[in-house]
Chains A and B, each alone.
Chain A
Amino acid sequence: MAAASEAIAMSSGMPQRRKRNLIPWMFVAPCMLVILLVTIFPTIYSLGLSLTKWEIGLQERPFIGLGNYIELFSTPRFLHSLLITLLVVVVGVSVEFGLGFSLAQLLSGEMKGKRVIVAALLLPVMVMPVVVGYTWRLLWDAQYGPINQIIGWIIGQPFTYTWLAKTETALFAILVTEIWQWTPFMFLVFLSGLAVMDPEVFEAADIDGASGWAKLWYMTLPLMRPIIIVALLIRGLDALKFFDIIFTLTGGGPGNSTETLSFYIYQTGYQFFRLGYGAAASFVLLVFLALFLTYLLKAFRATVEG
């Protein structure tokens, strides 16, 4: 059989080894081509764009080197949007982690009605962020919103605070909304992680007289580490691109006080057609995403290998 195929290869003038090497490439070539067209080419194109002054109001598109990047880091609005993005990532994801993990711990054991509770807890994550944004906008409404109404009942007088129109509370409202939507995701991941943990390890710890805190700190958390890193990775990457809820809840306002990096890029690139500058801002976001990804993947690898 082998001799036959070798004979065919020889007869076709192509050494068998070379032919064998080409076959896998032929299989992946269509896929590579698609990736090249939809990912690599646009990335290179937008990198080139970020080095030009591309403005809708200008007839020419001159090459300005790193001009857009320099302008970015000397623009307070951009730096502020960067700060808000990091705040959402650090505060939002941390709270989601804490709440998600606590809920997962609470519901990891057997209890009555667990299925219903878990299903109910998962609902927010299934709703589109735009819908969540508009729903919470109603909830935060000053005059007719249930949040103010409940506070009014508690304090015994009408409460009409404008949460979304005040700089001090707009970001708080955004974070609450974001945490409400994405805590269930963390909860689900951690609940799955806890469900597959070997109960014998914990039974042994019980026999040794370990306290609940000790079990959590020295056993659950270390054992859950790979899962925690994956959950943080997914949520962190998502939070770095945070856009929908800002768009629907505050539109980046009041002023520019709640603009994230993604919202800023949308404004400059797609609203004002500053395509060069917007592309440069996108690359800065890409660098942040790459750094974040690299750090967490490194931690993940260390955990798995170590």
Chain B
Amino acid sequence: MSTKMFKVLGVLLAVTMLLGLAAPIAYAQEPCQGSSSQCAVEAAKKFAGTTINYVREAGLQAQDPLTMAPIWEELTGIKVNVIELAYLDMYTKPLQDHLTGGGAYDAIDLSPMWMQDYVNAGALEPLDPYIEKYMNPADMEDFLPVYRSEGVMKINGVTYGLYDDGDVFILYYRKDLFEDETNKAEFKAKYGYELVPPETEQQMYDAAEFFTNKYAPELYGLAIQRIEGQAYSWFVGPFSGRGGQFFDENMKATINSDIGVQLLTDMVKQNKVMPPGVEKWGFMEVLSAWMDGKVAMIVTWPPIGRWSAGYGDTAKQLAWVPASKVVGKVGYMPQPGGRPTLAGGFNMCVTATSANKEAAYLFIQWMTSPDISLQRVMLPFALRDPYRLSHFSSPLYRSAWPEAGEYLDTLKKAGMSGQYELGIPGAREYMEAIDNALTAAYAGKDPKAALDEAAAKWDAITERLGVENQKKAYEQWLKNPWNRLGPTVEVPTE
């Protein structure tokens, strides 16, 4: 199955190269009427011989551009130098470079959460003139609405990035355990309702408690990443889903509201039905336990779904991923609670200090174009997740493994009901305060006291950056329906 898929992908890549080499002159006409990827290739040929420095997250993430860069170079003569940075360094290093004169990076990957800081610092090149000149307008409409909205690709109506990673939390559950008749009967006897794939947080907790009590230490009901650094991502979605708000009308922090405190109390309670030591579990620990069949449910990013299914598990880049013992046993649901966290994600951006802005833009247009990006989100070892309408409906992707269609539908549904992390100036500092509150509560601190402390930090940050400035930025940020907190998203009609 996977070998066949590789062959198909290989043929697609080869066809792309040939098409690029033999692209008709029509594609070089402006504005682009044909394929955005081919328009980018044609326009980029005049920059042959230049080198673009492109920042990508280190490790598996970088395997994608390392695979695609030689193809781009073959097509255009432009070399791409992939610079690998740790996730949090992707925020700091390009900004440091910009503040000290810049020029080290041409294209960078940025989480939507960081965009405001970069735009405020004048570190990003507005992309609208390039889009108008080189991109087929239809391809802009192909981005899933949640990923092309204000605060994501656009800041104050100006496009600064092309979205390139449909990161959203979904719940993976073990179908075999949930469909087991004995489990179903025992669960119903204990909890008074059917054992179903959880849609609510309470259902998830009950199922986790049930499986842990029945199977631990061989198997635990639930595992969620709790380690410091990005723990806040698992707070944001449920907080929004329960109706929590980040700020009141005076920009006073309200994360320590009753909703926030109850949520944190529940999160601390969840730890008790998770494996021992889960407070220090990161992505790898969750992945290992899941692939080894040691947990019944996990809430995490999309790539695990592909690896669980054994998709592309023969790729040498995936040699470090534990072999899946749960192939064919995995079901998918959006993160319980109504508003799955749109955790992380990446825009591809061009730096304001780049000496090769146009070439850098053409490269990111090519990478994010419908045909090329489909190949990239299907690379088994890449961590880019589907984000275009054409990705979700692709027959090729939907047949990649037996449950791939269900997987793609879940990702789309989760994305369209998702909740973005705060994306106003100082976002990293705000989120770090929540992170500290969570880890302190996991360590035994009273959830109310922990969130009160976080709220005080939030107020201090707001005060420091200027209440009016922050209020204005927050109001602008709230214009995106997927930024607005609340149990449901009011999806705009197109």
Contacts and interface: CB of A to CB of B under 8 A. Distances in A.
Q: Do A and B bind each other?
A: yes
Given A256-B436, A271-B92, A55 B277 contact: no
Nearest to B217: A158
A113 to B, nearest CB: 38
A167 B280 contact: no
B260 interface: no
A57 B92 contact: no
Contacts, number: 98
B228 A273 contact: no
Interface stretch (B35-43, B48-56, B389-397, B424-432): B424-432
A59 interface: yes
A22 interface: no
A165 B432 contact: no
B277 A165 contact: yes
B436 A255 contact: yes
Contact of A255 (B95, B277, B429, B440): B440
B277 A272 contact: no
A160 B443 contact: no
A257 interface: yes
Given A56-B117, A256-B436, A160 B276 contact: yes
Nearest to A268: B429
Interface in A125-155: 137, 141-143
B443 A255 contact: yes
A162 interface: yes
B399 to A, nearest CB: 38
Contacts of A252: 228
A57 B445 contact: no
Interface of A: 55-59, 137, 141-143, 158, 160, 162, 164-168, 170, 250-257, 267, 270-273
Contacts of B226: 165
A165 B443 contact: yes
A170 to B, nearest CB: 8
Contacts of A168: 444
B445 A143 contact: no
14 contacts: A55-B464, A56-B95, A59-B120, A137-B280, A142-B280, A143-B275, A143-B276, A166-B443, A251-B227, A253-B443, A254-B445, A255-B437, A270-B92, A272-B429
Chain B, interface size: which category? 35 or more
Contacts of B465: 55, 57-58
A164 B121 CA distance: 37
A267 B92 CA distance: 11
Interface of B: 88, 91-92, 95-96, 99, 116-117, 120-121, 217, 226-229, 275-277, 279-280, 425-426, 428-429, 432, 436-437, 439-440, 442-445, 450, 453, 464-466, 469
Contacts of A250: 228
Contact of B276 (A56, A142, A251): A142
A257 B440 contact: yes
**Interface SS of chain A: helix, strand, loop or mixed?**
loop
Contacts of B425: 56-57
A211 B466 CA distance: 70
Nearest to B121: A56
B117 A254 contact: no
Given A254-B443, A273-B92, 17 more contacts: A55-B465, A56-B117, A56-B425, A57-B469, A143-B277, A160-B277, A162-B276, A162-B279, A165-B280, A168-B444, A251-B228, A251-B229, A253-B439, A254-B228, A255-B440, A271-B428, A272-B429
B439 A254 contact: yes
B442 A254 contact: yes
Nearest to A254: B443
A92 to B, nearest CB: 21
Given A162-B280, A255-B450, A272-B426, A167 B436 contact: no
A160 B439 CA distance: 18
Contacts of B426: 56-57, 272
Contacts of A137: 280
B277 A162 contact: yes
B430 to A, nearest CB: 10
Contact of B88 (A55, A164, A166, A271): A271
B272 to A, nearest CB: 12
Nearest to A58: B465
Contacts of A253: 228, 436, 439-440, 443
A257 B228 CA distance: 12
Kindly list the 3 A-B residue pairs having the minimum CB-CB distance in the complex, ordered from nearest. A142-B277, A255-B440, A57-B425
Nearest to B426: A57
Contacts of A257: 440, 443
A267 B88 CA distance: 11
Contacts of B99: 273
A294 B277 CA distance: 44
B280 A57 contact: no
B469 A141 contact: no
Nearest to A252: B228
A166 B444 contact: yes
B445 A255 contact: yes
A158 B218 CA distance: 13
Contacts of A162: 276-277, 279-280
Chain B CB within 10 A, most for which of A57, A143, A165, A253: A57
Contacts of A271: 88, 91-92, 428-429, 432
A266 B486 CA distance: 35
A54 to B, nearest CB: 10
Contacts of B121: 56
Contacts of B453: 255
B95 A273 contact: yes
B442 to A, nearest CB: 6
Contacts of B436: 253, 255-256
A172 B383 CA distance: 37
A250 B440 CA distance: 12
Contact of B117 (A57, A141, A251, A270): A57
Nearest to B96: A270
Given A158-B217, A255-B450, A58 B466 contact: yes
Given A56-B117, A56-B425, A250-B228, A255 B276 contact: no
Nearest to A159: B276
Contacts of B92: 270-271, 273
Contacts of B432: 267, 271-272
Contacts of B277: 141-143, 160, 162, 165
